[in-house]
A and B are shown apart, each in its own frame.
Chain A
Amino acid sequence: MKLTIHHETRYTYESPIEDSIQYIRLTPRTTPQQRIHDWKLRTPGETSQMVDGFGNLVTVMTLTDAAPEITLVAEGVVDLTGKPLTRDDSPFPPQVFLRQTDLTDADEALKAFANEYSANKRSLVKLMTHLREHISFMPGATTVTHTAREAFELGAGVCQDHTHIFIACCRHIGVPARYVSGYIHSADVDHVATHAWAEAWIGSNWHTFDVVNTLNVAESHIKLAVGLDYQDAAPVRGVRTGGGTEQMETIARVIRASSQ
């Protein structure tokens, strides 16, 4: 399946910002599951590249002149091959993903919830399904700093929260699990196309767990970055000087390209 992606993020400020530096993870890698064609990332300022410890492609943007706004545009064409996840495309032994972080650390309530499940695919699919029933999808209910415990207690959140909670449960029961940020194609064009889901290590393979959509295959998912949690895989992390309050608008479209 060939998909065309257009993703635009615009930050506007109360007053011009003086400078900024950002780590931008908006460039997908070619893997057995996805082939990347013509990918472009447009940013203001100067950019350089790095590959982080998880193997994610990171664009480092530095802005040294006053700017009233920052617009980031990522676009390109990706071919999804439909191949299942394999033994590993991560540079690490899976045990790295056993460690809880501030965002995923499980409290007693989460541990009690997780203890009902065990380290096999059937059980984890049940966990995913029950979590989805328990946590409603409610944009605006949480922010990017919400932890798995907080969202679990709230019983609401967005894909990031569902993913953190699922990861927290997996790690608690000894299953390595990692956070994935990316895009998802949906027949419904207005559907939010930026997405987050989890991958869990069962047996000797990674498996997809898209909690919000209760899917355990990644047939319409484009992977941008992986990490221990949102902080590692966030599409944009930055700091700036000046600017006052920030407003963010984002448009992300994933459209099926006409087959050739």
Chain B
Amino acid sequence: MHIQTPAPGLYDELFDENNRVRPHCRMLEQWLEKSDEGLIAEKRREANVLFQRLGITFNVYGEDQGADRLIPFDLIPRIISASDWQKLQAGLKQRVHALNKFLFDIYHDYDIVKAGVISAEQVFANPQYQPGMQALKLPRNLYSHIAGIDLIRHNDGDFYVLEDNLRCPSGVSYMLENRRMMMRLFPELFAHSSVAPVDQYPNLLGETLRAASLKPDPTVVVLTPGRFNSAYFEHAFLARQMGVELVEGADLFVHQNKVYMKTTVGPQQVDVIYRRIDDDFLDPLAGNPQSMLGVPGLYSAYRTGNVVLTNAMGTGVADDKSIYPYVPDMIRFYLDEEPILKNVPTWQCRKQKDLQYVLDHLDELVVKEAQGAGGYGMLIGPTASKKEISEFRSLLRARPDDYIAQPTLSLSTCPTFVDEGVAPRHLDLRPFVLSGKKIQMVPGGLTRVALKKGSLVVNSSQGGGTKDTWVLEADL
């Protein structure tokens, strides 16, 4: 098959700047070269049927009828060299370590605020700050046990952290299923390469969840909002893989500050809840009184130390886009280390000087809501229409505090099967970081790819697809 070479000025995961195949990708390129289009088309159909049968579908918010839909899966893997991964892994562990220390600090002694690194208003007036977490003692002082960090590779070849997801990051089931799919469709590819396995993730997740409690053999459950949630498949999948119960709010109850699960042999006390429900919906007596998803009284059990929530309540304050610019300083402050991974330079529109710069350069910048997620409330200056830019100008003037802006980064590209053949498309990466007795990762993550030519929006809700992510055990 013919592989289109990337546009100049971009970093491509397969080709270097002289359009030569990168050494660690040669095996993939040779496979593509000798694969015939008919066979690949056949395999793509097979993959679709298998995903449909497995039930890995995705509910798109804002779409009529909320119909289940497949996230497009691309057969060409994205390859990360062993040396790149070493650096990524060290950087991600460092970052999550500092973020957990920040969360502990802002719910206890506020050292970072007292030291003047970040203002009290930015931390405490943040809508994601949970007063109910004040002075709560958590085992191992851990808040975000499961973190998903979004990265992109810029045209300088370096990885940049785009966003930290410390609440209920999803997508790990795609990492696992994409790998299974590739091994099933192309076993010969794995025979000739040293791709690091990812299938130990459910074991590590189980280990992490058990380590969230100080009890010797804690009972762990996965709490889901139910089958209408877009990530329900993942909740069910992870519970099954770990061999723990998948429950909804109505399956649990609270008595005398303890949480119990209703079982056929009577109530069983629950020690750790891997909850995939937002803070405000966990307990109608503490958060949203209308919530039917949570468990009345859950907060009392949490507050008195009789149950552990993973992730903790109130982690959103640390992954808010307005706090993001301070993460490198957090690493210096708490760990006394230099950040290994780069942050994207960020203008905070709450600052008058930054706002003025952003208003003057709207056609060059990406503007995002400080609280947003999912790529909805976003302006991509270079590709936006005059009308879109002028709409954002008014939004920024009306509510500057709600926005941040960043330079338009050139997300790296990777060859992808599209209608016109094999062509470069932009992608990002979300690896998962687990914090328990120690910080652990599996070598891999979720690679999302923007299937539209030139598009930089990889969100599955906006027409993005996924790829298998290969981390090599050794570079050639």
On A, residues with C-beta under 8 Å from B are 21-23, 46, 48, 50-54, 58, 60, 62, 64, 91-93, 95-96, 98-99, 227-228, 231-232, 237-239
CB closest residue in chain B, given A101: B127
Contact of A21 among B125, B289, B296, B304 (CB under 8 A): B296
Q: Least Cβ distance of B215 to chain A in Å?
A: 19
Q: Which residues of B contact A48 (CB under 8 A)?
A: 256-257, 300, 304
CB closest residue in chain B, given A238: B285
Tell me if B134 and A46 are in contact (CB < 8 A).
no
Contact of A93 among B120, B133, B135 (CB under 8 A): B120
Per the CB 8 Å criterion, the residue count for chain B at the interface is: 31
CB closest residue in chain A, given B127: A99
- Give the docked Cα–Cα distance between A51 and B300 (Å): 9
On B, residues with C-beta under 8 Å from A are 110, 113, 120-121, 123-127, 129-136, 254-257, 284-286, 289, 296-297, 299-300, 303-304
Q: Which residues of A contact B130 (CB under 8 A)?
A: 53
- Give the docked Cα–Cα distance between A22 and B284 (Å): 10
- Give the docked Cα–Cα distance between A46 and B136 (Å): 24
Given the interface pairs A53-B136, A62-B255, the reply to whether A93 lies near B300 with Cβ below 8 Å is no
- Give the docked Cα–Cα distance between A95 and B119 (Å): 10
- Give the docked Cα–Cα distance between A239 and B249 (Å): 14
Given the interface pairs A48-B257, A96-B131, the reply to whether A62 lies near B297 with Cβ below 8 Å is yes
Give the residue among A60, A62, A239 with the most B Cβ atoms within 10 A.
A60
Q: Least Cβ distance of B292 to chain A in Å?
A: 10
Q: Which residues of A contact B299 (CB under 8 A)?
A: 52
Q: Least Cβ distance of A115 to chain B in Å?
A: 15
Q: Which residues of A contact B304 (CB under 8 A)?
A: 48, 50
CB closest residue in chain A, given B132: A53
CB closest residue in chain A, given B120: A95
Q: Which residues of B contact A52 (CB under 8 A)?
A: 132, 286, 299, 303
Tell me if A62 and B129 are in contact (CB < 8 A).
no
Q: Which residues of B contact A232 (CB under 8 A)?
A: 131
Tell me if A95 and B124 are in contact (CB < 8 A).
yes
Q: Which residues of B contact A239 (CB under 8 A)?
A: 284-285, 296
- Give the docked Cα–Cα distance between A227 and B287 (Å): 13
Tell me if A21 and B285 are in contact (CB < 8 A).
yes
Extra contacts besides A22-B285, A62-B254 (14): CB < 8 Å: A46-B255, A50-B300, A50-B303, A52-B132, A52-B286, A60-B256, A60-B300, A91-B135, A92-B134, A95-B123, A95-B125, A96-B125, A99-B124, A227-B131
